[in-house]
Structure 1
Amino acid sequence: MAKKQSPPSKTKTGTAPPSPAFPIVGIGASAGGLEAFEQFFTHMPANSGIAFVLVQHLDPNRKSMLVELIQRYTRMTVYQVEDHMRIEPNGVYIIPPNRDMKLENQMLYLFEPTAPRGSRLAIDFFFRSLAAEQKERAIGIVLSGTGSDGTLGIQTIKGEGGMVM
């Protein structure tokens, strides 16, 4: 379903390419966040020019159906993230179960969880990378949640001058 894409090219100076010219919105939700996702994407136009990255607390022992469920509510292309996936506008990117994810050089990278289930802060982990990559252009939304996951990431985005909801 998700396409593997080549890594970003280097510029003439050998540095990584600049931040994309389109907004990237990180959206965090707890396992019960499906209704919030439905409301959000039902009202989001398919050609907004925005990339959406969903980080949800998923059961690591079950196959996630989130891609199929979100596809019901949007005409945007919905991907389950694969390691080293380039992010593009008008797409929805969903973290797979039992992974941490970061954004770097317009690419999404997956990692084995750095903490045991129950103490992982996957939303914070991603939001901090979003803030580091996008600076004042970072946008973070927490739709639902339990515990404090997302609060540190939101603070980091705000600290860079980004927008939070």
Structure 2
Amino acid sequence: MRRIILMGASSGGTEALTEVLKGLRPGLAAAIFVVRHVPGDSVNFLPQLLARDCPLPVCLAANGETFRAGTVYVAPADHHLLVDTDQMFLSRGPRENRARPAIDPLFRSAALAFGPRAVGVVLSGSLDDGTAGLVAVKRSGGIAVVQEPADALNPDMPQSALHYVEADHCLPAAEIGPLLVRLVATEISTAVPEAIEHLQAGWRREVAIQRHETGTVAGAAELGELFPASCPECGGPLWEMKDGVPRYRCHTGHALTARHLVEGLGQAAEEALWAALRVLEERSRMLRRIGQQDAERGRDASQRAFAERAAETDRYVATLRELLKAVPPVGGDSSLALGGGRHVPGVPVIEERQTDDTDGSDPHATDPPLGPELSGS
């Protein structure tokens, strides 16, 4: 097996993956691994969809199995996909970037196991999962490939990758498949990457976290410096990691980029406001109930006092309702969109854009669920 190819996608990713895979050739001397964000409670029909136009066999990845060249392996729902030198592993470890499966764990594990033989491909998707993983691939001597943002249905992930990584290739999805065929046929660089032992040590700890081999306060402290914010997944303390992309991890293992942390804290804030609204409405009802009971006993002064307190609580409720109307939707902060900072010569600078995630049920606004109606079954 000459190379290992890793692909990551989110919203708009099914179309991009289809275009890439149909450009491959039978007998490709590389194993291909695919992570596309899917809701954790869904049945993943992505292999059936991709197999329609892909000249290679496509299947769901299986825990502990040996992988083979010329096969496409897709991460199942609610499991991270990790690779070692000849095996793949599935994990229900902590979510990364509010997703499981997430792209970064796959890329990171492949960078450690395969170094310059790894090719990372970042395709259409919201926010920036895959960027930190592509940094690991690139720093390990591998090849970084990014879908041209103008070609992506959601350019966020390609924009982020180009912002932080000096990509080797930036192409439309339809041109990436033939590129991968050429890359597999070319000689692999034997150039030794710059000293990255300290980065590899951190990546190994993170892979160990996903494989449930560790996950402690001491382990998180070894990854970075304590940061004054709470994990939006579990409420635990966060440590800031500095390996090329602003990232944070808590001691239970949840990991988030800075953009995902902002989104997660925003969602946590909205949930807290709704909880406060519920409690205040319950308080108002109880105050009125106590006042009514006092009135039945002839305690009119007490009834009026409780009624005033209930009215005051109602004013707080009205204020909270107005505040909730102004809360921006998850993924709706245009200030989080990346612009400029691109490293690929000849590619125009990207202006900031307004993301348009859907109803918030999935933080990545993935493609429609891949159910039977899409798979033709």
| TM-score class normalised by the smaller sequence | 0.7 to 0.9
Matched, 1:60 2:40: yes
TM-score by length of 2: 0.37
The structure, 1 or 2, with the larger RCO (C-alpha pairs under 8 Å, 6+ apart) is: 1
Residues 17 and 50, structure 2, Cα contact 8 Å, conserved in 1: yes
Read off the aligned partner of 2:41 and give its amino acid letter. N
Matched, 1:110 2:90: yes
Output the aligned Cα RMSD: 1.6
Residues 33 and 144, structure 1, Cα contact 8 Å, conserved in 2: yes
Residues 121 and 149, structure 1, Cα contact 8 Å, conserved in 2: no
Residues 25 and 138, structure 1, Cα contact 8 Å, conserved in 2: yes
What aligned pairs does 1:16-165 form with structure 2 within 5 A after superposition? 21-115=1-95, 118=98, 122-165=102-145
Q: Tell me, what secondary structure is at the counterpart of 2:90?
A: strand
Matched positions, count: 145
User: Greater strand share, 1 or 2?
Assistant: 1
User: Greater helix share, 1 or 2?
Assistant: 2
Partners of 1:121 and 1:34 lie apart in 2 by 15
Residues 36 and 101, structure 2, Cα contact 8 Å, conserved in 1: no
TM-score by length of 1: 0.82
Partners of 1:81 and 1:164 lie apart in 2 by 23
Which structure 1 residue ranges, 5 or more long, are not aligned? Answer: 1-20
Which structure 2 residue ranges, 5 or more long, are not aligned? Answer: 146-377
CA offsets 1:132-154 (integer angstroms, 9 cap, x no match):
00011111001112111001001
Structure 1: which 4+ aligned runs deviate by more than 3 Å?
none
Identical-residue share of aligned pairs (%): 28
Partners of 2:88 and 2:99 lie apart in 1 by 22
Partners of 1:136 and 1:116 lie apart in 2 by 25
Read off the aligned partner of 2:40 and give its amino acid letter. P
Residues 98 and 113, structure 1, Cα contact 8 Å, conserved in 2: no
Larger radius of gyration: 2
Residues 3 and 29, structure 2, Cα contact 8 Å, conserved in 1: yes
